[in-house]
Chain A
């Protein structure tokens, strides 16, 4: 405890910024004891959240989600594939989460970030198990053709709570998705109908389009997530990178639209989670889900 005591003496004379760098944990704990965080938030409060739709013109659906400064760009591109024999009437979603070197000082080119494949796996597990997308809706001709959706999420700015922002951008991108119109040609193969500039083309569209009705996916059970830090008796919602690096026990709760739990994830860490802590995390997640629902609702997303 010698170090703690010496920091106590030093801290009275030190400048705030220097103190924050040298004794980050003490700096945070002093804030937490006042029920306030260094950025002025209350412990259970998430950062401001913004969602923008349809920013990528080359994709069939895209969205940009911003939680505080954490920024995620998600884009979906659809391709026709032959479904597997196990599930002849189902399409497929391939999800990948990227952390390019621009997003954080710790990522270097040629060496992908350790966190990226982990988040990638958790995201695809969450989206597929939540039942948000009915894979049968992606079927075009049973056993012959179905949609393959390539969802790529790019982290443009990493400042904590990466999973929450990535999931939000993915959900928003799916809500923005416009499935391209395709038709069966004489050889029984699927071809894309582009534009329909001249009159002949337009009449073909009406005659043969296989999926005229199904241009949008129906999203049900949309998953919402909240990451919290457990530190001693404190629970901090929606942490920044700085907070994540100082206090390492993270808990992620994913709930769906009807407040049912989809997934719960605690990634080790020094603090142990007891049932009261878990209960309050779920309670915070429930509040957060309501907020996010409202943000998405303002943009006509169910």
Chain B
């Protein structure tokens, strides 16, 4: 699970393009920083790895800071007996947490909300017509929750789907942004998510420049939403490149 020695972990921090803005903060306001010492527009290093689970058709492991996730893909395999006939394939998603995922002692259970959001984020990108009458199962386990869990799960799931050889229109990447006060922080950690005024998560297909899911909650101003969208799009496409490189490497390694 550890990073390969010598190889630097790539990151996908976006570059803010467009008009130059007047700084919102006076210098005196800027003396606080993020808990892990990152810049506001700096993402955590993204450690990704395919083929983590040997018994699955495809799998991937993702470690973004303290957020650690494993996604396994099974299938396409026979749908449950109770299901009615379907011309197109089915997608079944499940996200669960370990009991030690977060510092507060909790019960590790299925996360229904994330399961359905993962399903909605993925259904637009998978070409369901390629596996009629069958089901593809995407199961995620959050080993450790360190913030931005859902976006890491979604990116990792798309990598696992690609590893399993499921036909997709494009890779899919997700990035979230938190709004605290007047500042935007990309890829928030748990502490930041706890005190945020608003959250923003975008799931997009970087090569096609299409968005499959956009969630905005809390208090947002229009300029902030615009800025968050720019940040996410740029970070998504950079993360997409990292994932594409990884898949190419994995493919060339298996050929040898």
Contacts and interface: CB of A to CB of B under 8 A. Distances in A.
B139 A77 contact: no
B101 interface: yes
A152 B99 contact: yes
Given A57-B66, A58-B102, A110-B110, A102 B144 contact: no
Interface of B: 1-2, 52-56, 59, 66, 70-72, 74, 77, 94, 96, 98-103, 105, 108, 110, 137, 139-141, 143-144
A109 interface: yes
Given A58-B101, A101-B94, A102-B70, A154 B141 contact: yes
Nearest to A100: B141
B109 to A, nearest CB: 11
17 contacts: A56-B100, A57-B66, A57-B144, A58-B102, A58-B103, A62-B100, A75-B100, A101-B137, A101-B139, A102-B70, A102-B72, A103-B55, A105-B77, A109-B96, A154-B143, A157-B53, A158-B55
Contacts, number: 85
A82 interface: no
Contacts of A159: 54-55
Contacts of B98: 73, 75, 98, 100, 152, 154
A56 B74 CA distance: 26
Contacts of A77: 99-100, 105
Contacts of B110: 109-110
Contacts of A96: 99
A64 B1 CA distance: 9
B55 A104 contact: yes
A77 B2 CA distance: 22
Contact of A102 (B59, B77, B108): B59
Given A55-B1, A73-B143, A101-B94, A157 B101 contact: no
Given A58-B144, A102-B139, 15 more contacts: A56-B143, A58-B103, A100-B96, A100-B98, A102-B72, A103-B72, A105-B56, A108-B137, A109-B94, A150-B105, A152-B99, A156-B53, A157-B52, A157-B53, A157-B55
Contacts of B56: 102, 105
Interface of A: 52, 55-59, 62, 64, 69, 71, 73, 75, 77, 79, 96, 98, 100-105, 108-110, 150, 152, 154, 156-159, 241
A100 B77 CA distance: 19
Nearest to B77: A105
A109 B52 contact: no
A105 B74 contact: yes
A69 B54 contact: yes
A158 B141 CA distance: 14
A103 B71 CA distance: 10
Nearest to A242: B55
Contacts of B103: 58
A250 B241 CA distance: 47
Contact of B139 (A73, A109, A150, A152): A109
A69 B108 CA distance: 24
Nearest to B145: A58
Contacts of B100: 56, 58-59, 62, 75, 77, 152
A138 B54 CA distance: 38
Contacts of A55: 1
Nearest to A75: B100
Listed from nearest, the 9 A-B pairs whose CB atoms lie closest are: A69-B54, A102-B72, A109-B94, A101-B139, A75-B100, A157-B53, A102-B139, A152-B99, A59-B100
A100 B55 contact: no
A48 B182 CA distance: 53
Contacts of A58: 100-103, 144
